[in-house]
Structure 1
Amino acid sequence: METTSTPAPRHSTPPWRYAIGMFGTSIPINVIKGSMLYFYVSVLGMDAAIYAGVYAVYGVIDAVDNPIFGYISDRTRSRWGRRRPYLIVGALLLLGAMIALFWVPDAVVARKTSALVIWFAIFAILAEASDSLINANYGALLPELFPAERRRALANSLRQGLQLLAMIISLGLTPLLARGILGCDVADPQCGDPTRGYELLAVIYGLVASAVIIFMALGIHENPDIAQEERPRFIPSIIQIVTNRYFWTVGVVSACFGAAMALVLGGLQFYVDHSLGGDALQATILQATVIAASIGFLALWTTVVRRYGAARTWKIALPVAAVSFLPLFFANNLIAAIIAGLCVGLGYSGMLATNDLIFARILDHDAAATGIHREGIFLSAFGVLGRLSAIPVSIALLSLGWFFGYHSGDDPGTQAGLAWRVYMSLYPFGLLTVGAMISRFIWVPADTPVDTPATPAPLGDTKET
């Protein structure tokens, strides 16, 4: 008599344990996106054009390493899983790179045109590469750990809420902490060392973030069945991905959103200083209020997702997000800026609630069509377009010098207020308008039921508007 062995039950990962990782991954990258530009251009006096050039190069390098990290992760088979080792190593690398990025030796600062640029380039690229290594693995875990869309939506909402909480700390509190409590403001003539606050925060934020990422990584349970699958090959996978229409539609839309938010995060402190005539405290109040309100908006958008589905809600959120940036152009005081910022929070939270769910559906469909789980390389290939958004951000920064005469904190020109209004409102509006228009022509794969076996089918056959 033939007997069949019963497979060992698969341990499930609690959504909160996975979601808390987003708190750890969000702190460093948001400090970098929100303060790196201000720190190097306004505090250290680097020319904005030089910064833009380095930023564009580091975006290209980061776009190249993204699919490599995903490919290596997809092919990894170890007793610790495919993703866990890279999450832990990436957390430690990011800790060191982030501290070095903001802890610049005095001798390097004194040589603004040579050593400072080299220091900035090395550690900005290392920090971004470490972030890519972490997120190539963290993002790939969402569809694997939570194959059912309702549980996946719960995990995604939790992690996006934790991301917003991390943003309150890393974006909202940073100006006040770095320029007030732990350090001093470069605009204050009595300020001795305006870099001190940023140095201390880099250490504190880095330690907290790395500890949270490692805690998350040690508590996840990857699917052991995937270890028996065929390992994806690099060149065939890349060819299939770049010839997949979703790469050039959903990927471009997501890149437009990423570039728009990079502009806003990097420019907010300049906007408060030059356009509103405010200080570090006002920058903290504006950022913290908007991000806190976004948590409530996220709950609203999650309800809409449950009723209408991720695809339809995503197409609604895009034009809302585009229009939401326009009020920032007209704000002339803190109260008006907070009201305008709440509009941004509404559109931003709509994208948070839907964008990753769209990617997860595409990853599900790819696995069903090919029989291979290659979430890492697939998601990282999409990330190439997102990382290349550094190029339009760099062009936008360069344009401030071309059109408005803004070059640095030492040489802001006579139209700095108008320059940063345009940077914070019209440029993001334009980018997301392009994304919203493209989205009208996109069909998104329908949700694959968790208990339905995968049946190979050409990518794009199953659709949902």
Structure 2
Amino acid sequence: MYAAKEAAYTMFVLLFYTQVLGLDGSITGAMIALSLFWDAISDPLVGTWSDRLRSRFGRRHPFMFASILPLGIAFYALFAPPASVVESTAGLAGWLLFWSLWVRTAVTTFAIPHLALAADLTDDYHQRSKILGGRMGVMFLFAVLLPAIGLLALFGENDGVDGRFVAANYPLYGALSCAVVWLAGSISSFGTLKAARPAASLPAAQFSPSSPLSLLRDLFRTMSNKRFRLLATYEIALMVAYGIVATMNMLVWTYTWGFDAQSVSIILSVPSLVAVALVLLSLNLLGRHFDKTQQLQLAMAGLVVNALWLYPAKLLGWLPSDGTVIFALNLLFMLFFMYCFMLRSVVTQSIVADISDEHELAHGIRQEGGFYAAINFINKLATVAGPVYTGIAMDVIGLPAGATPGEVDPVVLDRLIYALGVGVIPGFVIALFVVFKIRMREEEVTEVQAALRARQQGNADVAAAHGLGHNAPPSPAGDS
């Protein structure tokens, strides 16, 4: 679900609305950015609400089931604006904004509860990383395979015309996205239904009556954790930079390197598939030698180093002219980038699960949904920062709408690379600096979990002594 949204907004939405439909780049970016304001409300609302929901399907699954059908419809509509809408700048901008809001709402309703399930599955320090690694691997596979399949099957060259610039191809991609989210969402929701944590195993304060004020208090309480504030700061810097990379990739692959749709699909998919396997295979090895925060530092250092060789070499004229070599260098660049980015994604989410344990010990209530809502909202900055920055950059550097590869002035192509560097490198460097301030050792997590188990056992003993069954009173550290 989330992966399909990432694929749509980082790979196709900006290209479709600007270069194909002719909407101004700044307007396109602004419409996508406006939808983020709704995320600022819906993400924490869904997260904190799902923390406290009591139902026979658990806390998370009612939200997940409710989002599947609307999200599929929204994906199709996003890529199929009617002719009457396309003819009007205001109408096209409004269409993009409306369906972006719809997509974001449905993704939020599914993704945050689904992500929060990870903390319910295990409290083992290393096992959490493995579970989240599997989840992240599947997500990235969909995020790259969906657009890669689209590029191969729908956007290939036909009679000398690049399919990426043919408007009629995009509703088919919307239909493909619709089918994928309906299938994947249903499988995931039904497949994890048994993982719903029983209400009896949660603190009594978990299900105290909710109100807008209590939900707001829950939200602010999550930000009281210093480690989480640092983690959120690093995520903001990184995801803004990543959004720019992901959005501008399609432009630099198309115009700077001159790759066709088939070549782009290979660069997009093959390194990511290999990176997924390498991350999953290396988690055990890394876990034996480094704690999670050290793994995070290694991954971020790798991203910074990787940003400093391919494109600077291109500007300096150091790269060979052989197209095969250029293609291979881009594959290598993407492989290292995707490995480091995926590794840090897995570790970050695993640390959030550990922080939720620390939070429960301090406040007597589990708020995985609130923590993951904040991280999910920050991740969405990528799908907004990328199109906004890229849309403005396209106007500033003078990339003409509707231009095809080979028609763009070399000076503009150099500006495109500079725009990529200016947008990306500062965010990577800031994220690396903040990451070195985050520390959470395995021993600390183990101590927190032992204290939680002792508290739960103590509450169970008190409840049994008073004949209260599962209605044990909250612990002294409970929500008050």
In 1, the alpha carbon distance for the partners of 2:246 and 2:131 equals 25
Call closer, same or farther: CA 1:269–1:386 in 2, change over 3 Å: closer
Aligned to 1:453: 451
In 2, the alpha carbon distance for the partners of 1:189 and 1:177 equals 11
Cα deviation, 1:213-250, whole Å, max 9, x if unaligned, reads 33334343323324552137223223323333234311
In 1, the alpha carbon distance for the partners of 2:160 and 2:367 equals 47
In 1, the alpha carbon distance for the partners of 2:36 and 2:159 equals 31
- Choose the corresponding residue for 1:74, options 37, 43, 51: 51
Call closer, same or farther: CA 1:60–1:416 in 2, change over 3 Å: farther
The answer to whether residue 107 in structure 2 is matched with residue 131 in structure 1 is: yes
Aligned to 2:149: 173
Greater shift in the superposed pair: 191-200 or 435-444: 191-200
**Counterpart code for 1:378:** F
- Structure (1 or 2) with the greater helix fraction: 2
Greater shift in the superposed pair: 335-344 or 60-69: 335-344
Call closer, same or farther: CA 1:158–1:440 in 2, change over 3 Å: same
Shift of 1:147: 1.4
In 2, the alpha carbon distance for the partners of 1:170 and 1:56 equals 24
Call closer, same or farther: CA 1:190–1:352 in 2, change over 3 Å: closer
The answer to whether residue 168 in structure 2 is matched with residue 198 in structure 1 is: no
Mapping of residues 67-146 of structure 1, within 5 Å: 67-111=44-88, 113-146=89-122
- Choose the corresponding residue for 1:318, options 276, 300, 306: 300
Cα deviation, 1:95-146, whole Å, max 9, x if unaligned, reads 12112111222222222x1111111101111111211121210111111221
Call closer, same or farther: CA 1:328–1:190 in 2, change over 3 Å: closer
Aligned to 2:199: 224
Identity %: 19
Aligned to 2:237: 256
Aligned to 1:207: 182
**Counterpart code for 2:74:** A
Greater shift in the superposed pair: 412-421 or 27-36: 412-421
The answer to whether residue 21 in structure 2 is matched with residue 44 in structure 1 is: yes
SS at the partner of 2:11? helix
In 2, the alpha carbon distance for the partners of 1:382 and 1:167 equals 18
Q: Which runs of 5+ in 2 are unaligned?
A: 209-213, 320-325, 456-474
Cα deviation, 1:325-384, whole Å, max 9, x if unaligned, reads 333414573222112222212321321331111211111111121110121123213434
In 1, the alpha carbon distance for the partners of 2:135 and 2:33 equals 29
Shift of 1:75: 1.6
Shift of 1:193: 2.9
SS at the partner of 2:64? helix
Aligned to 2:465: none
Mapping of residues 251-290 of structure 1, within 5 Å: 251-290=232-271
Aligned to 1:355: 348
The answer to whether residue 137 in structure 2 is matched with residue 155 in structure 1 is: no
Call closer, same or farther: CA 1:237–1:275 in 2, change over 3 Å: same
In 1, the alpha carbon distance for the partners of 2:165 and 2:91 equals 27
In 2, the alpha carbon distance for the partners of 1:190 and 1:420 equals 19
Greater shift in the superposed pair: 449-458 or 362-371: 449-458
**Counterpart code for 1:285:** I
TM-score for both structures, normalised by structure 2: 0.81
SS at the partner of 1:322? helix
Call closer, same or farther: CA 1:301–1:426 in 2, change over 3 Å: farther
Call closer, same or farther: CA 1:296–1:118 in 2, change over 3 Å: same
SS at the partner of 2:366? coil
**Counterpart code for 1:305:** G
Larger radius of gyration: 2
Aligned to 1:242: 223
In 1, the alpha carbon distance for the partners of 2:476 and 2:376 equals 25
> Aligned pair count?
433
Call closer, same or farther: CA 1:125–1:63 in 2, change over 3 Å: same
**Does the Cα contact within 8 Å between 2:47 and 2:113 map onto a contact in 1?**
yes
**Does the Cα contact within 8 Å between 1:321 and 1:344 map onto a contact in 2?**
yes
In 2, the alpha carbon distance for the partners of 1:437 and 1:398 equals 28
Cα deviation, 1:374-423, whole Å, max 9, x if unaligned, reads 21123213434443455643552244146412364359964442344345
Aligned to 1:434: 430
Greater shift in the superposed pair: 43-52 or 114-123: 43-52
Greater shift in the superposed pair: 42-51 or 32-41: 32-41
- Choose the corresponding residue for 1:378, options 365, 371, 387: 371
**Counterpart code for 1:438:** V
